[in-house]
């Protein structure tokens, strides 16, 4: 993974970072790196995520999924970090269409997904560290019922990844289900390089060892200077730009297989850094598609954004045939991939010409190893950013209030937050549809 921060310098962009600021910031990066290395060495909560390429036991994953190796599909039932990692890995490795995810409680979507799957050929991967997340457990109970209705013994087709205790752990024990662990000390959004993110890919025959090797390459690339470490360069520049007014991070992969990666990054960045009145709002986009929608805002809107452009340097080609249409002759005999690369470079230059700060994140080509390096790099960048912002990177207390209010609405009497719902301030504006 390489990172080009040239278009974030104040010679190009406003807000921008000066050479002097980068050098001063690098002293803080060195101190943060020491803190991170101590956290990794001590297997401290959160920092333990950066040991996963070493601590994840891929043999244990293969052993656990062996009974499901004949599956044509893997349905992941989870939410947040317990679903996005799996979707990101499967999508990036080209098996996303065989690895659907139920990570929302939308009845139409759940129904449509279940009706679309041959449940007798589908492995179900239920993922929840706590084992109590309402959306995940609610969906799982629906999936289990659908399997029974289809005459499928759910215990033959279900694998569980969960914490060391809790209702899901107990259920797996009760029914002798294959079970793997959400690594202790690793928040869900940082757990992709563990069974949480790797089980579906393993069932579908992907090279999870190569993903972990890529993660290890990311581990080896950590260094006490942003000028020697792409991940730290990205994290440090993102913080420097946020401090100068870039309160949005528009994350734009130029590879369709990285579309879920943007979703994964959005949770990682928002849930880790959105604290104490700080944090960049992730905006997910896709190149080249969103050049025809959001680019207008990115180029001509407020200078309150960092645009992160992600691309593989090498990609497959698909020849565009010659055409008799004179105005389109320039397309003839080029490749679709070549067109996408041209649009990437043009968009990058367009943003720079408008003084909008942007950073290029590049991998050689999109494969299992570079995916592992990219995931690891963004995790390390996020942890560094958390150190520089001095926030609690690995917790997410703000998400708990709404959960309690929802449970209160559904009858959980220990949740006074629900009262706020009935006491809502109302000013209803209604259309007058009378003729």
Residues that bind ligand G6P (CB under 6 A): 79-82, 128-130, 133, 136, 187-189, 271, 396, 399
Sole residue written with tokens 């190569």 = 210
Could you tell me how many residues make up the chain? Answer: 435
Distance of closest approach, residue 91 Cβ to ligand G6P, in angstroms:
18
Q: Is 400 a catalytic residue?
A: no
Q: Is 89 in contact with 229 (CB distance < 8 Å)?
A: no
Q: Is 403 a catalytic residue?
A: yes
Q: Where are the alpha helices (DSSP H) in 175-282?
A: 195-203, 208-220, 230-243, 259-273
Q: Which is nearer to ligand G6P, 268 or 363 (CB)?
A: 268
Catalytic residue selected from 62, 303, 345, 403: 403
Q: Which is nearer to ligand G6P, 25 or 273 (CB)?
A: 273
- Give the bridge partners for 126, in sequence order: 77, 160
Q: From CA 324, how far away is CA 42, in angstroms rounded?
A: 66
Q: Which is nearer to ligand G6P, 188 or 282 (CB)?
A: 188
Q: Which residue is nearest to ligand G6P (CB)?
A: 188
Catalytic residue selected from 174, 292, 424, 430: 292
Q: Is 305 a catalytic residue?
A: no
Sole residue written with tokens 């990666």 = 261
Sequence-separated (6 or more) residues with CB below 8 Å from residue 424: none
Distance of closest approach, residue 81 Cβ to ligand G6P, in angstroms:
3
What token pair was written down for 420? 């706020």
Distance of closest approach, residue 137 Cβ to ligand G6P, in angstroms:
8
- Within 13 Å, how many C-alpha atoms sit on residue 316's CB side? 6
Q: Which is nearer to ligand G6P, 79 or 89 (CB)?
A: 79
Torsion angles phi and psi, residue 367, rounded to 5: -145, -175
Catalytic residue selected from 271, 373, 379, 387: 271
Sequence-separated (6 or more) residues with CB below 8 Å from residue 259: 91, 253, 286
Q: At what angle do helices 208-220 and 195-203 cross, to 10 degrees?
A: 140
Distance of closest approach, residue 139 Cβ to ligand G6P, in angstroms:
11
Distance of closest approach, residue 197 Cβ to ligand G6P, in angstroms:
11
Between the two ends of the chain, the Cα-to-Cα distance in Å is 62
Q: Which is nearer to ligand G6P, 129 or 360 (CB)?
A: 129
Active site residues: 271, 292, 403
């Amino acid at each position: 993974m390489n990172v080009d921060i040239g278009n974030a310098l104040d010679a190009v962009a406003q807000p921008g970072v000066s050479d002097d600021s980068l050098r001063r910031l690098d002293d803080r990066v060195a101190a943060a790196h020491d803190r991170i290395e101590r956290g990794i060495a001590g297997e401290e909560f959160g920092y333990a995520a950066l040991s996963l390429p070493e601590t994840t036991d891929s043999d244990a994953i293969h052993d656990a999924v062996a009974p499901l190796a004949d599956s044509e599909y893997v349905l992941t039932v989870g939410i947040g970090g317990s679903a996005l990692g799996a979707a990101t890995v499967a999508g990036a490795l080209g098996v996303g269409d065989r690895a659907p995810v139920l990570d929302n409680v939308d009845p139409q979507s759940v129904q449509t997904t279940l009706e679309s799957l041959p449940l007798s050929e589908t492995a179900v991967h239920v993922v929840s560290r706590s084992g109590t997340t309402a959306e995940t457990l609610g969906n799982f109970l629906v999936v289990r019922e659908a399997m029974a209705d289809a005459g499928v013994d759910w215990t033959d087709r279900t694998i569980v990844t969960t914490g060391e205790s809790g209702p899901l752990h107990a259920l797996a024990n009760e029914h002798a289900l294959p079970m793997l662990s959400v690594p202790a000390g690793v928040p869900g959004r940082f757990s992709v390089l563990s069974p949480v993110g790797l089980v579906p890919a393993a069932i579908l025959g992907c090279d999870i060892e190569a993903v972990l090797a890529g993660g290890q390459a990311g581990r080896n690339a950590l260094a006490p200077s942003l000028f020697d470490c792409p991940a730290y360069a990205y994290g440090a520049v993102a913080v420097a730009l946020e401090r100068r007014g870039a309160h949005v991070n528009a994350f734009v992969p130029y590879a369709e297989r990285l579309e879920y990666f943007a979703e994964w990054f959005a949770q990682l960045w928002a849930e880790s850094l959105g604290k104490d009145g700080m944090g960049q709002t992730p905006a997910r986009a896709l190149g080249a598609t969103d050049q025809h929608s959001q680019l207008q805002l990115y180029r001509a809107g407020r200078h309150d954004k960092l645009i992160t452009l992600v691309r593989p340097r090498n990609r497959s080609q698909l020849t565009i045939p010659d055409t008799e249409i004179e105005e389109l002759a320039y397309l003839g005999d080029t490749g679709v991939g070549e067109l996408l690369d041209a649009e990437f470079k043009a968009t990058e230059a367009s943003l720079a010409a408008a003084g909008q700060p942007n950073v290029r994140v590049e991998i050689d080509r999109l494969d299992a190893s570079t995916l592992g390096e990219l995931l690891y790099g963004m995790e390390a960048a996020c942890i560094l950013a958390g150190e520089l912002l001095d926030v609690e990177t690995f917790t997410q207390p703000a998400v708990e209030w709404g959960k309690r209010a929802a449970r209160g609405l559904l009858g959980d009497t220990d949740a006074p937050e629900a009262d706020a719902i009935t006491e809502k301030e109302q000013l209803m504006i209604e259309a007058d549809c009378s003729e």
